[in-house]
């Protein structure tokens, strides 16, 4: 049966009581409008961010897990650098490439040689002139030699050896008997055409240096990718927690409306209004369950990306609470400056340039092999000989007499047609052209990614104001409709249009709040993607890559900004045209070994020059990881 419209005095009295009950029990309404004007309160919020009520709750525990851990972005990045299997794996790969450089450079180290030989021969004689009468030739010998052999960087091979020995024979022509001999030998060999010159001799070393540089850039690429994933996962966890809180608040506002309707069930609320409210609340509860599951999924993803075994094992029973709040200050990036920084620092571009450098070296070597092989060989020696096994006297005589023996010659070799060398040269030219096209493609891809990232940043900046206005207007609309419903009640019809509008306004406010948080997070994500597209993420996040010069161990540390001040704008970087004006690619005509460990290129620091610092949850510096800050629920935060 439809209720009759109450008298004016009775309606005002009941509405006042309902309004008081709603104000005392409404835990979800963070800003009640004044009695004078609802729009007055809305105008006051335009000058600040007071509408972000969730910021006061987001740093606390919101899940029913027995333990929680609070952390900031700096702490999670330090734990990632220390525990991530991906980062540790690629750093070891870079160390292996550096060891290849040491191995190839060791080919020019001098080699110490030592050899001994003792022999006894007993052969029949077929010619009396061999022994002078005895039917068998019997000879005893002993020799010991020591020397040094070294190949210089211009291709010259030097072999210096000293031999001492004894020799005795039953031959009648053997004189003096019981010989002690000494021989100092020097041999020089150098290629003059093919396989000659420093470029060819150091080809393996130069190629190892180039490959180590490529491996270093690949390590930077993988580390930047993992750091970007961790940072994005951190802000997505913050976003999921905000959405969860917003959805809970939406349920609370719906429950308060249901409580008001229940209180008016004998006055002016209809059955359809109660049914609609319960249906909306049930739908919102379902959304809260999904929001909580999303928070747990984001926690699991963040724990996986960090890579800490202790954190991964404790993740199911630990609530992870990010404490940093997103910043809304706009950073305007000039596209041209961003592209120049990307061409200079993007690991993919520098790796492609290294591949082209390696191809240029191979082309240079193949041109050298087109020449005929012509080697100069020089041998010289000093010798001494005495009887009675006077070895040391013979050793002295070889220097006192100074009567050297010497020989010199040339060795020439050229295959007929030289087809193999010609084919290798054409193959090297094709490889060089391929690497050049790959570098051009890497530059184009970098330019496109940076342009897209700059557009995303600008879009996020432009959307922030509109999303903020959406939140403020949706909040004001809900508050107006709420006050209207508390004062005047429903329309008394079987449809419940007034309540429907109020519930829709609550949903629009929650959607606007979700969109505002998503826009803030999307802005930070777009900044992260822009820094990664420019190849500048490690520098921007103060992550230093250090190579130990003793054992080539590669480590990554995060240093404080006071020790390593960093620019925040691409325009702050000096010499942004360096890659374009002074290419790192090896010249095809005059290829020379390149020092791949030049610290001025900011690719391979030689020594650790900074102190590792890790902020704790409260902001103080500490040396422990994230898992050690886990506390039980109810303990101090």
- pLDDT single digits (tens) 443-468: 999 999 999 999 999 999 888 889 99
The b-or-e profile of 368-389 (16+ CB within 10 A means b, else e) is bbebebbbeeeeebbbbbbeeb
Residue located via tokens 């206005």: 469
What does the pLDDT read at residue 132? 83
User: Do strands 67-71 and 318-322 pair parallel, antiparallel, or not at all (unpaired)?
Assistant: parallel
Stretch among 13-27, 86-100, 168-182, 501-515 having the lowest mean pLDDT: 13-27
pLDDT at 248 > cutoff 60: yes
pLDDT at 323 > cutoff 60: yes
User: What Cα–Cα distance (Å) separates residue 50 from each residue in 30, 47, 123, 323, 472?
Assistant: 10, 9, 110, 18, 10
What does the pLDDT read at residue 483? 87
Residue with the bigger pLDDT between 627 and 123: it is: 123
Q: Which of 430, 304, 297 is CA-nearest to residue 362?
A: 430
Residue 263 near residue 297, CB atoms below 8 Å: no
The tokens describing 294, both together, are 């999303």
The tokens describing 510, both together, are 């929650």
User: What Cα–Cα distance (Å) separates residue 389 from each residue in 140, 178, 209, 542?
Assistant: 12, 5, 53, 73
- The CATH H-level superfamily of 56-111+198-236+294-372+417-560 is Outer membrane efflux proteins (OEP) (1.20.1600.10)
pLDDT at 553 > cutoff 70: yes
Interval 353-398: pLDDT, tens = 999 999 999 999 999 999 999 999 999 999 999 999 999 999 998 8
Residue with the bigger pLDDT between 136 and 23: it is: 136
What does the pLDDT read at residue 276? 85
pLDDT grade, residue 245 (50/70/90)? very high
Angle at 432 between CA 429 and CA 435, to 5 degrees: 155
Q: Which of 597, 459, 482, 446 is CA-nearest to residue 94?
A: 597
- CA-based end-to-end distance of the chain: 56
pLDDT at 413 > cutoff 60: yes
Please state the rounded mean pLDDT for residues 536-564.
77
Please state the rounded mean pLDDT for residues 233-254.
94
Q: Which of 219, 202, 225, 449 is CA-nearest to residue 351?
A: 219
The CA R_g of the chain, rounded to the nearest whole Å, is 41
Chain-wide mean pLDDT for the chain?
Answer: 80
pLDDT at 432 > cutoff 90: yes
Angle at 351 between CA 350 and CA 357, to 5 degrees: 90
What does the pLDDT read at residue 376? 95
pLDDT grade, residue 614 (50/70/90)? very low
CA within 13 Å, CB half, 595 = 7
CA within 13 Å, CB half, 624 = 10
The b-or-e profile of 61-76 (16+ CB within 10 A means b, else e) is ebbebeebbbbbbbbb
Q: Which of 583, 157, 98 is CA-nearest to residue 411?
A: 157
pLDDT at 209 > cutoff 60: yes
User: What Cα–Cα distance (Å) separates residue 145 from each residue in 162, 340, 349, 387?
Assistant: 5, 62, 54, 20
pLDDT at 581 > cutoff 60: no
Residue with the bigger pLDDT between 105 and 403: it is: 105
pLDDT grade, residue 64 (50/70/90)? confident
Residue with the bigger pLDDT between 272 and 8: it is: 272
Angle at 113 between CA 112 and CA 117, to 5 degrees: 160
Residue located via tokens 């200050």: 329
Say which DSSP state 625 is in.
-
pLDDT at 598 > cutoff 60: no
What does the pLDDT read at residue 586? 37
What does the pLDDT read at residue 560? 52
pLDDT at 31 > cutoff 50: no
pLDDT at 630 > cutoff 60: no
pLDDT at 43 > cutoff 60: no
pLDDT at 635 > cutoff 80: no
Q: Which of 299, 293, 294 is CA-nearest to residue 320?
A: 299
What does the pLDDT read at residue 293? 94
Residues 6 or more apart whose Cβ sits within 8 Å of residue 72: 322, 323, 324, 615, 617, 619
| Number of CB atoms found within 10 A of residue 273's CB | 29
Interval 273-300: pLDDT, tens = 888 888 999 999 999 999 999 999 999 9
The b-or-e profile of 225-234 (16+ CB within 10 A means b, else e) is bbbbbbbbbb
pLDDT at 65 > cutoff 70: yes
User: What Cα–Cα distance (Å) separates residue 44 from each residue in 53, 265, 268, 517?
Assistant: 15, 36, 34, 21
Please state the rounded mean pLDDT for residues 544-568.
67
What does the pLDDT read at residue 44? 38
pLDDT grade, residue 8 (50/70/90)? very low
H helical segments located in 489-577? 497-533, 537-540
Which residues are paired to 555 by β-bridges? 546
- Backbone CA torsion sign across 171, 176, 177, 179: negative
Helical (H) or strand (E) element with 420: helix 419-488
Please state the rounded mean pLDDT for residues 51-59.
89
3-state secondary structure 313-356: HHHHHEEEEECCCCCCCCCCCCHHHHHHHHHHHCHHHHHHHHHH
Residue located via tokens 């609470």: 321
The tokens describing 194, both together, are 């093919």
Residue with the bigger pLDDT between 580 and 382: it is: 382
Distance CA 266, CA 38 (A): 29
pLDDT at 335 > cutoff 80: yes
Please state the rounded mean pLDDT for residues 412-436.
95
Where are the domains positioned within the chain?
A: 56-111+198-236+294-372+417-560
> What is the signed CA dihedral for 112, 113, 116, 121, rounded to 10 degrees?
-170
pLDDT at 215 > cutoff 80: yes
Interval 66-97: pLDDT, tens = 888 899 999 999 999 999 999 999 999 999 99
Q: Is the pTM of this model over 0.85?
A: no
pLDDT at 501 > cutoff 70: yes
């Amino acid at each position: 049966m439809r209720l009759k419209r109450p008298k004016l005095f009775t309606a005002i009295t009941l509405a006042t009581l309902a309004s008081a009950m709603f104000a005392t029990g409404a835990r979800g309404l963070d800003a009640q409008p004044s009695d004078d004007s609802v729009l007055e309160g809305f105008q006051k919020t335009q000058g600040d961010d007071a509408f972000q009520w969730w910021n006061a709750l987001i740093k606390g525990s919101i899940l029913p897990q027995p333990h929680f851990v609070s952390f900031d972005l700096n702490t999670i990045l330090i734990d990632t650098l220390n525990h991530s299997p991906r980062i540790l794996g690629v750093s070891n790969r870079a160390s292996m490439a550096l060891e290849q450089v040491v191995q190839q450079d060791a080919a020019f180290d001098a080699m110490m040689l030592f050899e001994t030989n003792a022999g006894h021969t007993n052969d029949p004689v077929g010619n009396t002139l061999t022994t002078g009468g005895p039917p068998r030739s019997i000879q005893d010998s002993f020799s010991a030699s020591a020397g040094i052999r070294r190949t210089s960087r211009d291709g010259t091979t030097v072999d210096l050896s000293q031999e001492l020995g004894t020799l005795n024979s039953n031959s009648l022509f053997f004189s003096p008997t019981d010989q002690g001999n000494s021989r100092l030998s020097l041999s020089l060999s150098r290629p003059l055409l093919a396989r000659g010159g420093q470029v060819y001799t150091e080809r393996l070393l130069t190629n190892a240096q180039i490959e180590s540089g490529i491996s270093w850039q690949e390590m930077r690429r993988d580390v930047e990718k993992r750091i970007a994933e961790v940072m994005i996962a951190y802000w997505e966890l913050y976003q999921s927690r905000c959405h969860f809180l917003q959805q809970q608040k939406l349920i609370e506002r719906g429950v308060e409306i249901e409580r008001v309707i229940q209180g008016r069930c004998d006055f002016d609320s209809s059955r359809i209004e109660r049914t609609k409210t319960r249906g909306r609340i049930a739908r919102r509860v379902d959304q809260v369950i999904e929001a909580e599951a999303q928070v747990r999924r984001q926690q699991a993803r963040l724990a996986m990306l960090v890579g800490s075994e202790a954190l991964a094992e404790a993740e199911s029973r630990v609530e992870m609470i990010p404490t940093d709040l997103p910043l809304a200050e706009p950073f305007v990036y000039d596209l041209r400056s961003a592209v120049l920084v990307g061409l200079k620092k993007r690991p993919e571009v520098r790796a492609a340039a290294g591949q082209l450098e390696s191809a240029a070296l191979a082309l240079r070597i193949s041109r050298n092999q087109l020449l005929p092989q012509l080697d100069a060989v020089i041998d010289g020696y000093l010798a001494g000989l005495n009887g009675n096994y006077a070895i040391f006297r013979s050793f002295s005589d070889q220097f006192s007499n100074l009567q050297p023996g010497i020989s010199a010659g040339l060795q020439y070799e050229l295959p007929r047609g030289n087809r193999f060398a010609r084919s290798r040269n054409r193959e090297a030219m094709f490889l060089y052209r391929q690497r050049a096209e790959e570098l051009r493609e890497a530059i184009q891809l970098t330019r496109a990614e940076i342009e897209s990232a700059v557009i995303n940043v600008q879009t996020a900046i432009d959307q922030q104001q509109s999303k903020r206005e959406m939140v403020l207007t949706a909040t004001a609309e809900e508050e107006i409709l709420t006050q209207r419903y508390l004062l005047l009640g429903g329309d008394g019809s079987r449809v419940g249009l007034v309540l429907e509008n109020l519930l829709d306004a609550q949903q629009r406010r929650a959607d606007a709040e979700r969109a505002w948080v998503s826009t803030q997070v999307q802005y930070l994500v777009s900044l992260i993607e822009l820094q990664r597209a420019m190849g500048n993420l490690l520098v921007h996040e103060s992550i230093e890559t250090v190579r130990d010069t003793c054992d080539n161990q590669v480590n990554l540390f995060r240093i404080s900004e006071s020790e390593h001040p960093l620019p925040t704008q691409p325009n702050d970087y000096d010499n942004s045209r360096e890659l374009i004006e002074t290419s790192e690619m090896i010249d095809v005509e005059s290829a020379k070994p390149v020092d791949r460990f030049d610290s001025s290129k900011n690719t391979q620091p030689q020594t650790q020059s900074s102190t590792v610092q890790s902020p704790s949850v409260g902001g103080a510096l500490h040396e422990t990881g994230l898992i050690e800050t886990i506390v039980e629920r109810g303990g101090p935060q």
